[in-house]
């Protein structure tokens, strides 16, 4: 199984860590709704077909990826960063020293 990381290109599945069901949303940390927390921790969609899931490219760029994969065929139809917009590359910490004349 190959996963095409948006940053690193197609890589073998051994480079990735499976983070599970991507349909769950963590309740507000201040929430005291036990049912919501229980559902978040224990309940899974576990669909036979196209599933939304989270993988991390732990053996590469370490980005968390939202992957749509078919659980019957292992075919991956979409991979994108879990960020709505991928973070911009970091700016250099300080300006490059200008070459002295």
- Name the residues that contact another protein, by CB under 8 A: 1, 12-14, 18, 20-21, 34-35, 38-39, 41-48, 51, 53, 69, 71-74
Nearer to another protein, 13 or 86 (CB): 13
Collect all residues with Cβ–Cβ distance below 8 Å to 59 and sequence separation of at least 6: 11, 14, 15, 16
Give every strand in the sheet of 17-21, ordered side by side: 17-21, 50-56, 64-70, 76-81
Beta carbon nearer to another protein, 72 or 86:
72
Query: Please, what is the minimum distance in Å from the beta carbon of residue 66 to another protein?
Result: 14
Residue 60 C-beta: closest distance to another protein, Å:
15
Instruction: Please state the closest distance from residue 53 (CB atom) to another protein, in A.
Output: 7
Angle at 73 between CA 72 and CA 77, to 5 degrees: 110
Question: Which of 39, 61 has the CB closer to another protein?
Answer: 39
Q: Which is nearer to another protein, 2 or 86 (CB)?
A: 2
How many other C-beta atoms can be found within 10 angstroms of the C-beta atom of residue 71? 13
**H or E segment and range at residue 41:** helix 34-42
């Amino acid at each position: 199984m190959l996963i095409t990381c948006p940053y690193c290109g197609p890589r073998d599945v051994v480079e990735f860590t499976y983070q599970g069901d991507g349909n769950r949303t963590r309740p507000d940390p201040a929430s005291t709704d036990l049912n919501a927390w229980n559902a978040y921790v224990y309940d899974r969609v576990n669909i036979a077909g196209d599933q939304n899931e989270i993988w991390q490219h732990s053996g590469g760029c370490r980005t968390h990826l939202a992957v749509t994969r078919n659980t019957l065929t292992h075919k991956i139809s979409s991979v994108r960063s879990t960020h709505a917009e991928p973070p911009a590359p970091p700016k250099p910490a300080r300006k490059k020293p200008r070459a002295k004349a």
